[in-house]
Amino acid sequence: MPLANGRSYLAIPGPSVVPDAVLRAMHRAAPNIYEGELPDMMPGIVADLKRVARTDHFAAIYMGNGHAAWEAALANTLAAGDRVLLLATGFFAHGWAQVAKARGIEVDTLDFGNGGPVDAGRVTEALRQDKAHQIKAVLAVHVDTSSSNRNAFAPLRAVLDDLEHPALLIADCIAGMGCDRFEMDASGVDVAITASQKGLMCPPGLGFVFFNDRAAAARRAQARVSAYWDWTPRAEPQAFWQYSGGTAPTHHLYGLRAALNMIHAEGMEAIWARHAALARAIWAAVEHWGQSGPMRLNIADPSLRSHAVTAIHIGKPHGTALRRWCEERAGVTLGIGLGLGTEDDPQSEGVFRIGHMGHVNAHMVLGVLGVIEAGLAALAIPHRPGGVAAAAQAIAAA
């Protein structure tokens, strides 16, 4: 019998759950964009965004999603004909490569597969061969949302510094920022991007680009940057929306203000710790279920797993059946598998993902896991019962 009526729950890895405080902040009459509260709010928003990215440098806001931030990061630092080294650890890195290629950028891809992080040794090898410094930037994804692995950037910065290679280090932090520890300045990242609808708990529609002085110098060296993507005026908190960026995304900015208030009231360290503890509960459940039956976490080594999203193998046709059951019978929407296809399962139908990014607490995670366990039983998918109890133990221990 369907038991889905009641408040539905979106457990996909973005868009994430939007807090009521954010929704309330957006529910208002259209504000004046030229003076008053909204423009006055901008310097504080920019300062608080930089605290999320852990950077003292610059932040530019775009009306756009993560794809817009991808485009913006490239448009300001690279020209057609420039070469980049892409470190691929999943589906999203390849998507970013397509955006780069469409801009005429030459992309050398080092593919590390879907099961783990970048191998700094291979990066060293590739960069060492680039004696002429033709590679202008190294692109890597912090958390690849398809595979749920996590990359560290300090080791990549160390590789570049050891080789005295001048390439910029550009990080896609769209899934991980505000969930998994990321410290832009401390890890030597030159450009970091994110978007509003994951760890930042807002609806999709804002893209953010953080950049340092080296990246600003690369921007100044460009012969031209299209007016919309140019980050120079956008990094001026007071002026940018009125005079250069077009109409401000008014309601999104009110929502973002509320989200940043929540983020800094909790504190970045506490947020990272909360995501880590909730992720451990999810892993405990999946590992328990998987003791008998097909379930398995995509990333074997816990130290390499994201705390924002978890990709789970369950096999075809169970993945699709389980997602359908959870949504139709219990009001929980799980994420589809992405980019983990095999010859037998090209569409990754045997994979599902749980998003646990942003406005997520213990009762939400236990609710999702409880629904999954009910679905496993209802569909007679082989598993060891008791995963929810294992998750509860992990939460009790946190």
Ligand X SMILES: *Cc1c(COP(=O)(O)O)cnc(C)c1O
Q: Look up residue 70 and give its two tokens.
A: 């991808």
d(CA 148, CA 40): 38
- Asked whether 375 and 325 are in contact (CB, 8 A), the reply is yes
Taking CB under 6 A as the rule, does residue 203 contact ligand X?
Answer: no
Q: Which is nearer to ligand X, 138 or 195 (CB)?
A: 195
Does 335 bind ligand X (CB under 6 A)? Our answer is no
Query: Which lies closer to ligand X via its Cβ, residue 124 or residue 145?
Result: 145
Nearest alpha-carbon partner for 151 in 165, 169, 127, 132 = 169
Q: What are phi and psi of 165, to 5 degrees?
A: -90, 130
Restricted to residues 46-85, the positions that interact with ligand X (CB under 6 A) are 65-67
Contact of 196 with 203, CB cutoff 8 Å: yes
346's CB contacts (< 8 A; 6+ apart) are none
Whichever of 88 and 175 has its CB closer to ligand X, that residue is 175
CB of 93 to ligand X, least distance (A): 8
SS3 369: helix
Provide the mask over 119-158, with x wherever binding to ligand X is found by CB under 6 A and - wherever it is not: ----------------------x--xx-------------
Q: What is residue 170's three-state secondary structure?
A: strand
> Would you say 355 or 375 has its CB closer to ligand X?
355
Binding mask 9-28 for ligand X (x = CB under 6 A): -----x--------------
Q: How far apart are CA 207 and CA 249, in angstroms?
A: 11
DSSP string, 215-278: HHHHHHT-S---TTT-HHHHT-TTTHHHHTS-S--HHHHHHHHHHHHHHHHH-HHHHHHHHHHH
Closest C-alpha to 36, from 301, 231, 178, 238:
238
Retrieve residue 47's tokens.
Answer: 């300062």
Site for ligand X in 247-286 (CB under 6 A): none
Q: According to CB under 6 A, which one of 25, 74, 127, 175 is a site residue for ligand X?
A: 175
By CB under 6 A, how many residues form the interface with ligand X? 13
Look at residues 254, 202, 266 and name the one whose alpha carbon lies nearest to residue 14.
202
CB-nearer residue toward ligand X: 92 or 211: 92
204 binds ligand X (CB under 6 A): yes
Q: Which is nearer to ligand X, 309 or 381 (CB)?
A: 309
Shortest gap between Cβ of 194 and ligand X (angstroms)? 9
Least Å distance, CB 141 to ligand X, is 5
Of 17, 123, 174, 297, the one binding ligand X (CB under 6 A) is 174
Q: What is the DSSP letter of 305?
A: B
Contact status: 298 vs ligand X (CB under 6 A) = no
| Between 88 and 330, CB nearer to ligand X | 88
Candidate segments 39-47, 172-180, 262-270, 312-320, binder of ligand X by CB under 6 A: 172-180
Distance of CA 134 to the CA centre of its chain: 29
Q: Using CB atoms, what's the residue nearest to ligand X?
A: 66
Q: Which residues of the shown chain bind ligand X in the complex (CB under 6 A)?
A: 14, 65-67, 92, 141, 144-145, 172, 174-175, 195, 204
